[in-house]
Structures are given as C-alpha cells and as structure tokens.
Amino acid sequence: MTQNKANIAVFVSGGGSNLQALIDAVKTDKLSASISLVVSNQQDAYGLKRAEVEGIPTFVFKSNDYPDIKKASDDLLDRLKEKKINYIALAGYLKLLPKIVVKHFKNRIVNIHPALLPRYGGKGMYGHFVHEAVIANKDTESGVTVHLVDEIYDNGRILEQIKVPVFADDTPDTLAARVLKEEHIIYAKVLDKLIKGKYDLNYE
C-alpha cells in the first residue's frame, strides 16, 4: 500500500547544514516525508543553493517587498498551501513567521536551537551569540533544543533536547561544531516522530 508522505517546507536564512541533514535523512528513509519547498528571506542563502542542487523548489520571501504585512502573509500561506505543505521546519531561519502561518500550522512547525532552552533563547540569541554567552557564563553543558513554534522567538513547547559538554578551552566555534553535529542527528528524528504522531499534543 502506498501512503502519502508528509510534505515539509524548510525555512533557512543561511548555510542550511540542517536542511542538508534533513534532505539526507529523507534519502536514507530516516525521515518519512518529502521536502517540497525551501523558503528563505535571503536571496543569497547557501541553503537555497542546496535546495536547487536537489531539485527542490525554492521561494524567497521578503515581507518588505509587499505593500503590507497582510499581503505578504497571505502570499506565503498561499505558496505553502499550493505545495500542500503539512509541516514547517525552521532551520536557521532568523525571522518570525507571520501570525496567520503560525495559526494555520499550529503544532506543525518546529525550530532547532543551538542551546538548552529556555536558557539562551529569544530575539538576538542566534549563531555565535548563543555560544559566546554559554562560554561567558562558564556553563559546563550546552546542547540542542527542538521545539514547537509559536508567535514568540524560541518560546514554544520543547519536544526534545540533547546535551553536550562545554570544555574549559572551548571557543564559540568549537562549541558550535559540537552542538551542530548533534543538531544534524536530532532534527530528522524529532520531525519523523512528530509526523508519526508520537508526541502527545493534546495539552498546552
């Protein structure tokens, strides 16, 4: 029996190594889905190149290019509907999603964050800023969080976390590399579980 696979849209602003990990997980059947669209707010994001190489449709979404936020939000939602998107995975996407998109995809949008939320989250806490803060605080552990997305940065319900050690001689780069390695493993696993209904989403 053939079963329809879930369609995922991945949103990126930069390099897209997590996007690549998701693409690879689909190819190796670790993620039971199709990546049907890659969206970026940055025309030159390397993540868009990765998508093109794989033959995945892309969409550059810049809300400032529209006369108002409603038209921008409606257009994005229409594109997602057109591609029959069931789930959204934010993978280094540095913008908030429009409210109507968050509402439409309630409990079907995930984000990956390179720290143990609720610490080191919120607006401006991304990339090297996160790892610099962890090191400055002399924390002995950091990690990865995958969480559901709501209308506030890094705020939705946490689905999974993985811890990694922080060593005394770590730089933001060495710590980022250790965390990123785990990101590439956990994200596909969490998405696959979410798609297969393995999280109880019936409570707030």
Rounded least distance, CB 72 to ligand GRF, Å: 22
Based on the shown chain and the rule CB under 6 A, indicate whether residue 172 belongs to the binding site for ligand GRF: no
List the one residue from 98, 114, 121, 143 that touches ligand GRF (CB under 6 A).
114
Site string for ligand GRF, 182-201 (x = CB under 6 A): -x------------------
Instruction: Check if 147 is active-site.
Output: no
Q: Which residue is nearest to ligand GRF (CB)?
A: 92
> Counting every residue, how long is the chain?
204
Identify which of residues 31 and 112 has a Cβ nearer to ligand GRF in the complex. Answer: 112
State both tokens at 32.
């039971």
Which is it for strands 141-148 and 158-165: parallel, antiparallel or unpaired?
antiparallel
Contact present, 61 and 41 (Cβ < 8 Å): yes
Q: Among residues 104, 113, 147, 184, which one is catalytic?
A: 113
Own/partner long-range contacts of 48-56 (Cβ < 8 Å, ≥24 apart): 48/12, 48/16, 50/16, 50/19, 50/20, 50/23, 51/10, 51/16, 51/19, 54/23, 56/23
Using CB under 6 A as the criterion, which residues of the chain lie in contact with ligand GRF when the complex forms? 12, 14-18, 91-92, 112-114, 180, 183
User: Catalytic residue numbers?
Assistant: 113
